[in-house]
Amino acid sequence: MKLNKLLIIVGFGLNSFFLSALNLDQLSLEKGFEISIFAENLDSPRQMAEGKNGTIFVGERSGQIIALMDSDKNGQADSRRVLAQDLTYSTGLSLFNGDLYFSEINKIWKIERIEDWLTTNFNSNKLPEKILVIDNLPDETWHGWEWLKHDQQGRLYFNIGAPCNICLSDNQQFASILRVENGQLEHVAKGVRNSVGFDFHPESKKLFFTDNGRDWLGDDSPSCELNRVDIDGQFFGYPYKHASDISDPEFGDLNSGYKFVDPILELGAHVAPTGISFYKGEMFPTKMRNNLFIALHGSWNRTEKVGYKLLRVILDENGDVVSSNDFITGWLKNGKVTGRPSAPLFKNDGSLLLSDDKANVIYLITYKD
């Protein structure tokens, strides 16, 4: 259902035909976990955030920012509200102090006190005022979608991907993760080809991020990456080096002058990691506290498809990887793809929401002993 003209939909239910076609029974989860549909009929949902009142905010690649409500608390959204529309690459968003920040390809906006506004204006026909925060970002569409995240100090982090598969650019904003500090942009990580997901470790507060490896070096090379920023401004290899030890055939012989930081985990070639989130809730087993959950969106140009699953990564006290395990699989069966997990979000109650921009749904994952 398109929402280009309609601002409010109340009482939208789950379509039994849709659920049958999606076939949740094909999905395999770790023991004790259950999966259901929180919201359907979305339009390429990506990053999500939860407000203090339980409102779920969603960035859709189609050009909208929406709010989802579960008013009867039954685990299914029963109304939605469009908050912004006609945007370009509107995938990233973050909440801080009640204000909703969201991205376009070359801009970042905010809506102040968004849940207060929804309380008094949910049934109106107007859109909330959006305030321009940043308007001088590159407008290249290649890897032009952002992921947004605030740290505890309220500083806003976001990525800008490389404007190509493999290249060097004079614009130092490309291929990086940036932070807004006192109105100025600072580099947090450089040499990052295309990160579409990062989060802060609940204890160390260090930034962990994924990076998508370059294309056209074969089915099995180079690997996509999980990285950790130990010092602001570290350089993670692109375009000179990929994964741990692969020199780029075009740029690898150039003297970059940088000291390269290796990934802490190679995720596999072409698996396309997107959103990530650390678990710090109470619902899941205690052993999962501080585990990192990574959505593998899935390959698009590999001979045999890979990815299409949600990964759980266990870290030690130093932030190094102990092991990684499949948490949810089944979107890829016999070469057929039924879904592409995009971004995990842990709710305030400890349950997990997971967006899927192929099936156009948001899943709800819960745990019971």
- Per DSSP, the residues of 322-341 read EEEEEEEE-SEETTEE---E
* pTM reported for the whole predicted model: 0.94
**Is the pLDDT higher at 290 or at 5?**
290
**Distance between CA atoms of 107 and 118, rounded to whole angstroms?**
23
Share of the chain above pLDDT 70, in %: 94
Half-sphere exposure of 273 (CA within 13 A, CB side): 29
| SS3 state of residue 6 | coil
Query: CB within 8 A of 319, min separation 6: which ones?
Result: 201, 204, 206, 208, 228, 264
Q: Give the model's confidence band at 301: pLDDT under 50 very low, under 70 low, under 90 confident, else very high.
A: confident
Lowest mean pLDDT among 101-105, 179-183, 354-358: 179-183
**pLDDT tens digits, 186-233:** 999 999 999 999 999 999 999 999 999 999 899 999 999 999 999 999
Lowest mean pLDDT among 13-27, 81-95, 136-150: 13-27
Q: Is there a domain that residue 105 lies in?
A: yes
**Distance between CA atoms of 333 and 27, rounded to whole angstroms?**
10
Q: Give the model's confidence band at 255: pLDDT under 50 very low, under 70 low, under 90 confident, else very high.
A: confident
| SS3 state of residue 122 | coil
Q: Is there a domain that residue 125 lies in?
A: yes
Domains held by the chain: number: 1
User: Does the bond joining 222 to the residue before it have cis omega, within 30 degrees of 0?
Assistant: yes
Give the closest residue to 311 by CA, choosing from 76, 9, 29: 29
**Distance between CA atoms of 75 and 362, rounded to whole angstroms?**
11
**Distance between CA atoms of 93 and 109, rounded to whole angstroms?**
9
pLDDT, position 362: 98
Q: Is there a domain that residue 240 lies in?
A: no
pLDDT, position 8: 55
Q: Is there a domain that residue 172 lies in?
A: no
Q: Is there a domain that residue 108 lies in?
A: yes
Residues facing residue 207 across a β-bridge: 200, 229
Query: CB within 8 A of 241, min separation 6: which ones?
Result: 247, 248, 252, 260
**Distance between CA atoms of 191 and 239, rounded to whole angstroms?**
7
Give the closest residue to 354 by CA, choosing from 39, 70, 144, 21: 39
Q: Which domain holds residue 108?
A: 8-152+195-232+262-367
Place of tokens 């069966």: 333
Residues facing residue 104 across a β-bridge: none
Share of the chain above pLDDT 90, in %: 90
Q: Is there a domain that residue 243 lies in?
A: no
Maximal CA-CA distance, the chain? 60
Give the closest residue to 47 by CA, choosing from 290, 301, 297, 228: 297
* Burial call 113-123: b when 16+ CB within 10 Å, e when fewer: ebbebbeeeee
Q: What is the CATH classification number for the domain harbouring 141?
A: 2.120.10.30
Q: Is there a domain that residue 52 lies in?
A: yes
Q: What is the mean pLDDT of residues 30-43?
A: 96
Contact 103, 157 (CB under 8 A): no
**Distance between CA atoms of 361 and 345, rounded to whole angstroms?**
14
pLDDT, position 5: 38
Query: CB within 8 A of 176, min separation 6: which ones?
Result: 159, 160, 187, 188, 189, 190, 191, 192
**Distance between CA atoms of 60 and 68, rounded to whole angstroms?**
12
Q: How far is CA 239 from the centre of its chain?
A: 23
Q: Is there a domain that residue 87 lies in?
A: yes
Other CB atoms within 10 A of residue 24 CB: 17
